[in-house]
């Protein structure tokens, strides 16, 4: 299995009604067409009369395409994902009522299944279901906030997919299908790009390009990160107040002092993302600790956009790349920053780890030393 160099994907799509089964396809090619695949996603939000929750079903299939003319057809190789996260933002009844949940989908990449149903084709790469995705009570509560209580309930969805591609050495059936591009593709080779919209600049008027520098400096002045105060203030209400709206020392000195123990590597990534300069794929190495530190800055300065990016990246990291220390830090971050998806991801990993030959003892050893509340939450997750 070989990771495809500098190949991160970032796709978005708006679904008008997720209560109906939805099939989405996205064509991908790498190395100028040497490898080509169509990823087919089957997504549904189902409910049973006796159930109290809507269940999310998510399946990803691969339709392997013949390479472009001039390339050898290597039938033993196909594309899949190594890291993968999904954001689903549901709009219930109106655009004002929303519910957001991040999910991690693990791709085993060693057990392909033929999947030729009426709604899908190709070989199944991964499947995921969440039987307690959202409660019926919550949906009903959100529907009562709509202006037209007599309207037919419809749940639309803003779907966002993030991941890294990987080449797999295993035979997969070749199929000929029409190319599909159902998603808006936000991917850029070699980097992730998160451009700022015009709305991000609405708080900054009459700014000049000169004298726009500000520095984050350690208390001992040994470390510093330079930034653009206009770009930072455009996204952070905390920094906007500090640098423009109040008579604070940072406004006059252009220096923001941070503790000596601050991770300046994470601070630099935070500034890079906040200023929409992109994050090179070299940053994305499954380093959960790094992006949790970046998240701490995003939370402190209330930069929601960077918070979302950190959640997206952390949730994508595959099970095999995480350790129990990572899982516990995820759980702590979920509690500290009120991100329940991190808590669920930590428990999801612990469940996966406990089902491996060597991981069961490790998980049990930790549970023996953990508090009663943690154990009860984990048991509730398993139910």
Q: How far apart are CA 171 and CA 78, in angstroms?
A: 8
Residue 260 DSSP label: T
- Degrees to nearest 5, angle at CA 113 with 112 and 117: 145
pLDDT range class, residue 126, cuts 50, 70, 90:
very high
pLDDT at 183: 85
Return the closest-CA partner of residue 216 out of 258, 246, 252, 249: 258
Residue-wise burial string across 204-243, b where 16 or more C-beta atoms lie within 10 A, e elsewhere:
beebeeeeeebebbbeeeebebebbbbbbbbbbeebbebb
Q: What's the pLDDT score for residue 255?
A: 92
Residue-level pLDDT at 347: 96
pTM: 0.84
**Which is higher by pLDDT, 58 or 172?**
58
**What local confidence, expressed as pLDDT, does residue 113 receive?**
54
Pick the more confident residue, 229 or 279: 229
Most confident of 171-175, 186-190, 230-234: 230-234
Query: When comparing pLDDT for 245 and 34, which is higher?
Result: 245
Mean pLDDT of 270-282: 72
Q: What percent of the chain has pLDDT over 70?
A: 77
Confidence at residue 357, expressed as pLDDT on a 0 to 100 scale: 84
pLDDT of residue 180: 63
pLDDT tens digits, one per residue of 322-332: 999 999 999 99
Judge whether residue 355 has pLDDT over 50: yes
- Whole-number Å distance between alpha carbons of 149 and 206: 45
Looking at residue 102, what is its pLDDT? 96
**pLDDT in the model for residue 201:** 43
At 198 the pLDDT is 47
**203 Cβ neighbours under 8 A, 6+ residues apart:** 233, 234, 240
pLDDT reading at 106 higher than 70: yes
Tokens of 122: 């190709």
The owner of tokens 């509340």 is 373
Could you tell me if 343 and 104 are in contact, meaning their C-beta atoms sit under 8 angstroms apart? no
The pLDDT of residue 320 is above 60: yes
Read off the pLDDT of each residue in 35-63 and give the average, rounded to a whole number: 87
**Which of 94-98, 240-244, 256-260 is predicted least confidently?**
94-98
> Is the pLDDT confidence value at 210 over 80?
no
8 A C-beta contact, residue 54 and residue 47: yes
User: What is the spatial distance between Cα 109 and Cα 125, in angstroms, rounded to a whole number?
Assistant: 7
Q: How far apart are CA 90 and CA 305, in angstroms?
A: 18
Residue 282 scores a pLDDT above 60: no
pLDDT at residue number 18: 87
Span 118-128, average pLDDT: 71
What whole-number distance in Å separates Cα of residue 347 and Cα of residue 364?
Answer: 13
Residue 236 confidence (pLDDT): 93
Selected residue with higher pLDDT from 3 and 298 = 298
Residues 4 and 212: their CA atoms lie apart, in Å, by 39
Is the model's pLDDT at 164 over the cut of 80? Answer: yes
Q: With DSSP H G I counted as helix, E B as strand and the rest as coil, what are the percentages for the chain, rounded to 5?
A: 35, 35, 35
Which pLDDT score is estimated for 327? 95
pLDDT tier at 17 (50, 70, 90 boundaries)?
confident
Res 367: pLDDT? 93
| pLDDT per position as a tens digit, 66-77 | 777 656 655 667
């Amino acid at each position: 299995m070989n990771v495809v160099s500098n190949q991160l994907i970032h796709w978005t799509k708006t679904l008008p009604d997720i209560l109906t089964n939805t099939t989405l396809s996205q064509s991908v090619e790498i190395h100028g067409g040497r490898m080509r695949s169509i990823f087919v996603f089957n997504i549904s939000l189902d409910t049973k009369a006796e159930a109290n929750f809507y269940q999310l079903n998510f399946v990803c299939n691969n339709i392997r395409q013949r390479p472009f003319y001039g390339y050898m057809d290597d039938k033993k190789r196909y594309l899949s994902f190594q890291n993968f996260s999904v954001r689903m933002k549901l709009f219930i009844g109106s655009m004002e009522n929303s519910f957001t949940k991040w999910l991690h989908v693990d791709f085993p990449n060693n057990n392909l299944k033929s999947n030729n149903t009426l709604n899908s084709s190709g070989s199944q790469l991964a499947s995921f279901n969440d039987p307690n995705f959202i409660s019926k009570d919550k949906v009903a509560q959100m529907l009562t906030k709509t202006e037209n209580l007599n309207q037919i309930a419809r749940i639309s969805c803003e779907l966002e997919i993030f991941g890294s591609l990987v080449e797999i050495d295993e035979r997969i059936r070749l199929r000929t299908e029409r190319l599909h591009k159902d998603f808006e593709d936000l991917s850029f080779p070699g980097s992730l790009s998160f451009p700022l919209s015009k709305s991000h600049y609405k708080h900054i008027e009459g700014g000049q390009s000169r004298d726009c520098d500000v520095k984050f400096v350690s208390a001992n002045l040994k470390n510093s990160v330079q930034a653009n105060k206009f770009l930072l203030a455009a996204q952070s209400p905390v920094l906007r107040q500090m640098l423009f709206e109040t008579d604070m020392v940072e406004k006059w000195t252009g220096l923001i002092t941070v503790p000596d123990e601050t991770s300046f590597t994470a601070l630099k990534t935070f500034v890079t993302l906040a200023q929409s300069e992109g994050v090179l794929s070299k940053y994305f190495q499954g380093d959960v600790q790094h992006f949790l530190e970046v998240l701490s800055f995003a939370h402190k300065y209330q930069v929601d956009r960077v918070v979302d990016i950190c959640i997206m990246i952390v949730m994508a990291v595959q099970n095999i790349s995480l350790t129990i220390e990572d899982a516990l830090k995820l759980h702590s971050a979920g509690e500290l920053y009120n991100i329940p998806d991190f808590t669920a991801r930590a428990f999801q990993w612990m469940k996966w780890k406990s089902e491996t030959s060597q991981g069961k003892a490790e998980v049990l050893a930790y549970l023996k030393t953990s508090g009663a509340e943690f154990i009860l939450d984990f048991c509730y997750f398993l139910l």
